[in-house]
Amino acid sequence: MKPPIKKNKSQRSNEDLRISSSKNLRLVEKKHQQIVDGACRIFFEKGYHPTTIRMIANACGMSMGQLYHYIHSKDDVLYLVHKHMQKVWYDYIKKSDMEKIDDPLQKLTEALRYTLEFMNENKRLIQFVYTESKYLDKKHLHIVLEMAYNNVIGFWHSLLKEVNQRKSVKGDLEFLASLIAFLLVFLPLRGWTLRGKPTGESADSLVDFILRGLGVLQ
């Protein structure tokens, strides 16, 4: 099961813009990953606002001209970081082989547990994305929010619909999908309030809390 991706006109045009004039999509994706890897090293150290395009170019081993062949602005780079986070998250939960699970509730439970593991292993990436997105301009922020709605919330919404066919889920599925996406970033963003508590124990409690809140676990 892949996250449902719906692209409106503005999303398609902005993605085309980032590809620039290159026709080799595989090369573009490789260069975008190179940009993300280099940019994240600088972003994590200095933050988004103080980081310059020249710093990003140096960090990813490109000249300014090469970098501008694949992005148009620093906001484009932050967009690529968002896109990268969603891709590595989905690649991570695929390791659970959840697509082979027939029981929808078990599939949802596995997706929750693997997502929490991913959040724990990628705290700095999650923290950066959620704290620095405030610097995006309105156009890029709209694209990023649409991408999160379609890919992340859409993923949880799809799983909830499967569960609801077997067991009645308590509440509006779209609202609950949004709530799940919000709750799953609690540990990397607010985990400092749980100092001294085992991460695994906190993750188990959060999964239990979500399933009981959905009304599917007695």
Encode pLDDT of 32-80 as tens digits. Answer: 999 999 999 999 999 888 999 999 999 999 999 999 999 999 999 999 9
pLDDT for 99-138, tens place per residue?
Answer: 889 999 999 999 999 999 999 899 999 999 888 888 888 8
Range of the domain at 118: 9-214
pLDDT at 21: 45
Residues 11/97, Cβ–Cβ less than 8 Å: no
pLDDT at 116: 93
Give the C-alpha separation, 6 to 150, whole Å: 6
Give the C-alpha separation, 54 to 61, whole Å: 11
> Is 3 part of a structural domain of the chain?
no
pLDDT for 162-172, tens place per residue?
Answer: 999 999 999 99
> Is 153 part of a structural domain of the chain?
yes
> Is 154 part of a structural domain of the chain?
yes
Q: Supply 89's token pair.
A: 């998250």
pLDDT at 4: 44
* pLDDT-wise least confident of 66-70, 94-98, 185-189, 205-209: 94-98
> Is 4 part of a structural domain of the chain?
no
CATH code of the domain covering residue 152: 1.10.357.10
Side chain identity at residue 38, one-letter code = G
> Is 96 part of a structural domain of the chain?
yes
Residues 86/151, Cβ–Cβ less than 8 Å: yes
* pLDDT-wise least confident of 12-26, 79-93, 104-118, 178-192: 12-26
Number of domains the chain is built from? 1
> Is 1 part of a structural domain of the chain?
no
Mean pLDDT for all residues in the chain:
85
Residue 216 has pLDDT above 90, yes or no: yes
Of all residues in the chain, the percent with pLDDT exceeding 70 is 86
Strand, coil or helix: 158: helix
Give the C-alpha separation, 161 to 173, whole Å: 7
> Is 125 part of a structural domain of the chain?
yes
Nearest CA-CA partner of 86 in 13, 34, 145, 142: 145
Residue 15 has pLDDT above 80, yes or no: no
